[in-house]
Structure 1
């Protein structure tokens, strides 16, 4: 007879300090990913590209699985797959309808290819599982250097194209009419997105990258509308989700992804509740003003 699940079966804070030292690389990588992922997530939401994130992650997973099978660098394989997918979507999916159809084709192809490579891999099963759900102890010092370097490249690239990218994301037709090279801006954005997705796969796994690249920005847009407030809140929410999830996972028996996704989801729920209260307060003030005018 299977006993009831107890708190100690999920969390155990024995030797927490020693365990924290073992995952120091992952905490740093998660912090950087949370910040950069939150910032780029603002443009993902503005450009309605949440579906594309999932498509890129599936090809990133396939590239990482291929590298695992053939004994190459998992980081480089993940980057190669993500960048290839991002370039295809950026070049062929200028319109939303084309983009969604391309993503719909790439997703099952990438997932199927990744599963094929993993089924042929005869190494540790934990390595296979971590590509899908994340693994807090899988970030070695060389990998950390890669991940931070990639994140810095994405951050710098994002800052360089921030204004034209924001203009194109909010009003593409006006941006094109004003001389903004919208096609080039879109392609650059997709390549930056591919790079950060490749980083996210190593922290949270290929199946749940949207928890750090979409949910924090979606939450921030519920409680703020300013050009500065939304990115700052999105970066903060991404940081809290990533680092908080990793710190909880150290004491837990589950993979890191459930903790990160749960924190990210709870932040979104709280932001929706705040937005609902703000909307009700505005509606009540409008009704009071209307009554005064009528009186």
Structure 2
């Protein structure tokens, strides 16, 4: 175990610029995931996040095949996926089936594009599981710009969106444009999901977008406290996952998912204990 977690090597690696850039990217992703997560959980959009992340993989694979920036490709794929899912699933009863259909088609295209790509296999693997060396100046600029845009749009629509998330029927009866809000929020989630592909990978970005928020919602019903806890849990998972992955050189996503799942188990235990005390 000491050989696997070499703390001296970890401390040495933390001095490198690419590691610092990766930690900064993880911090921004944690903030994004933490703020969006409680709304994703309250709107039952976990499967949608999974579908969007897989279609971000398709966009990244297309960019890899064409020699373009994979971050931009993943972002384009996620935005297109969010718009397609929003337009095809006007009725809530159709939502899961539409996600399944589009996800299967897009994932098949992504696998084909990865097979056609003849470059380094590490580039393919990085799209699936994330890699800390993928953060350069251009990718950080894209990350910061998109994060600022997401926060700005969310600040404008947050109150009606929260209303529509808590009680959609009453919100619609009071004239809140629930359909438009759902479409805009789907695009915001798509952007945040795509930004996480380069660091966490498309397969397990769900752990960062959903698990911290689900853990926070286990211990509080307050939207504000749930958001603050979700941000804390997401940042700890993302930054901690990168730090723990340094010495063994293992995929970041493995540690991000482990930390976030451990946090969820603790919150689940707290919630269960509260219920037993109340009874």
Which TM bucket (shorter chain)? Answer: over 0.9
Q: Provide the C-alpha distance between the structure 1 equivalents of 2:21 and 2:137, rounded to a whole number of angstroms.
A: 7
Conserved? CA contact 1:245–1:257, under 8 Å: yes
- How many residue pairs get aligned? The number is 277
1:194 pairs, out of 185, 190, 194, with: 190
Structure 2 alignment gaps of length 5 or more: none
TM-fit CA distance, 1:7: 4.3
**Residue of structure 2 in register with 1:227 after alignment:** 223
Confirm whether residue 63 of structure 1 aligns to residue 62 of structure 2.
Answer: no
Conserved? CA contact 2:212–2:230, under 8 Å: yes
TM-fit CA distance, 1:112: 1.3
**Residue of structure 2 in register with 1:125 after alignment:** 121
**Residue of structure 1 in register with 2:89 after alignment:** 93
TM-fit CA distance, 1:238: 0.5
Q: Provide the C-alpha distance between the structure 2 equivalents of 1:187 and 1:198, rounded to a whole number of angstroms.
A: 16
2:68 pairs, out of 60, 67, 72, with: 72
2:105 pairs, out of 90, 109, 112, with: 109
Conserved? CA contact 1:11–1:253, under 8 Å: no
SS in 1 for 2:223: coil
SS in 2 for 1:228: helix
Confirm whether residue 252 of structure 1 aligns to residue 248 of structure 2.
Answer: yes
Deviations 1:234-275 (A, max 9, x none): 111101100010111112231101100000000000000001
1:51 pairs, out of 38, 47, 50, with: 47
Confirm whether residue 215 of structure 1 aligns to residue 211 of structure 2.
Answer: yes
Which portions of structure 1, spanning 4 or more consecutive aligned residues, are displaced by more than 4 angstroms?
none
TM-fit CA distance, 1:122: 1.2
TM-fit CA distance, 1:92: 2.1
TM-fit CA distance, 1:35: 1.4
**Residue of structure 1 in register with 2:139 after alignment:** 143
Rg (Cα) greater in structure: 1
Conserved? CA contact 2:10–2:243, under 8 Å: no
Q: Provide the C-alpha distance between the structure 1 equivalents of 2:242 and 2:122, rounded to a whole number of angstroms.
A: 17
2:13 pairs, out of 19, 22, 30, with: 19
SS in 1 for 2:7: coil
Q: Give the CA RMSD over aligned residues.
A: 1.2
Structure 1 alignment gaps of length 5 or more: 1-5, 284-295
| TM-score of the two chains, using structure 2 as the length reference | 0.96
**Residue of structure 1 in register with 2:170 after alignment:** 174
